[in-house]
Amino acid sequence: MDAKKIQLPREIHTGAGVINKTGAICKDLRFSGDVLVVTGPKTLKIGGEKATDSLQDEGFSVETVKIKEASEKAVSRVEKRIDSTALVLGVGGGKVIDVAKMASTRSNVHFISVPTAASHDGIASPRASIRNKKGTVSLQAQPPIGVIADTEIISKAPFRLLAAGCGDIISNYTAIMDWKLANRLLNEYYSSSAASLSLMTAKMIIKSSDAIKEGLVESSKMVVKSLISSGIAISIAGTSRPASGSEHKFSHALDIICPKPALHGEQCGLGTIMMMHLHGGDWKFIRDALKTLKAPTTAYELNIEPEDIIEALTIAHNIRKDRYTILGDRGLTREAALKLASTTGVI
């Protein structure tokens, strides 16, 4: 039997005001020495300063670095600042967390995720989406050793971000379908436990879609826990398969094509509607759930041209060609893509 290593967050803290306990949490985790806080220009005031104050109150020496994008350049800049740092905190949205996660992985330093919004499952996953010269790529990284999710802060973030997080979770439906397909056709490794956890989180979000409202701490708590569960499913599987399939390929294709792509979770939600149709599943069920969550279900709502949707569908199979999905090896013809997007009402 092959040995397998599963890395998971050691501690997960959620709740209103929990960011003010950041220093105490880091002490409980037996950290000491210098801490580097990676944040953004806006998230510095939203959460970065609170985390820094809490760390300093517990005797930590803290440095701060601000980043604006999830790029290789930003990762390199953070790596240079790590130096003798004992711990890296990513305080911000998905881009900040992905950059901090990737830089800490490359520097072999522990990382704690402190999200200020719940827009995608990178909060706790062992993956980081980083932009390079070829576009945005999903890279293997170390999962955070801890997660500190202040639901009060997250509840005050634009509701669009929370809805995007729901879209990312709902996309687990087609991701699991693609994974099962690859298992049947190519005998690809499949973890039923990871798949079950991933699917459970998606079902829970759809079941609770009526209760997820703007500005509610409880809504933020529910979405955050689901995103963390989705990230843990990836760690258990040792692959992003439980939460990334043809719908993610479509989203990454849009990132390449569009001058101004929409949010990752929004694009994945839109892709899930169409990929569910290709699988012969209940795509209207997915569409209606996204509508209930006030997530976009059309290209118009994403401010993306219909032509870009069609092109993304025709090239999506070329993204991560090693990952077999319902798109197959040859992808969709333009005619098939047009019919798919039109039938599902995406264009």
The pLDDT of residue 1 is 42
Residue keyed to tokens 């440095």: 63
Indicate the residue type of 22: T
Indicate the residue type of 169: I
Show pLDDT as tens, one digit a residue, over the chain (347 residues): 466 778 888 999 999 999 999 999 999 999 988 999 999 999 999 999 999 999 999 999 999 999 999 899 999 999 999 988 889 999 999 899 999 999 999 999 999 999 999 988 889 999 988 888 777 778 889 999 999 999 999 999 999 999 999 999 999 999 999 999 999 999 999 999 999 999 999 999 999 999 999 989 999 999 999 999 999 999 999 999 999 999 999 999 999 999 999 999 999 999 999 999 999 999 999 999 999 999 999 999 999 999 999 999 999 999 999 999 999 999 999 999 999 999 999 99
* Whole-number Å distance between alpha carbons of 213 and 293: 8
CATH of domain 11-155: 3.40.50.1970
Cα→Cα distances 289→5, 141, 160, 203, 204, Å: 36, 31, 15, 10, 11
Dihedral over alpha carbons 54, 60, 63, 68 (to 10 degrees)? -40
Residue keyed to tokens 């939203």: 46
What are 69-73's contacts with CB under 8 Å, separation 24+? 69/95, 69/131, 70/94, 70/95, 70/96, 70/98, 70/99, 70/128, 70/129, 70/130, 70/131, 70/136, 71/99, 71/130, 71/131, 71/132, 72/130, 72/131, 72/132
The structure's pTM equals 0.91
In the beta sheet, which residues pair with residue 131? Answer: 71, 136
Q: What's the start-to-end Cα distance of the chain, in Å?
A: 49
The pLDDT of residue 281 is 97
Cα→Cα distances 35→60, 155, 185, 320, Å: 7, 27, 48, 35
**What is the distance of C-alpha 76 from the center of its chain?**
21
* Whole-number Å distance between alpha carbons of 94 and 343: 32
What are the structural domain ranges in the chain? 11-155, 159-343
Classified by CATH at the fold level, domain 159-343 comes out as Dehydroquinate synthase-like, alpha domain (1.20.1090)
Tell me whether strands 146-150 and 110-115 are parallel, antiparallel or unpaired: parallel
The pLDDT of residue 134 is 72
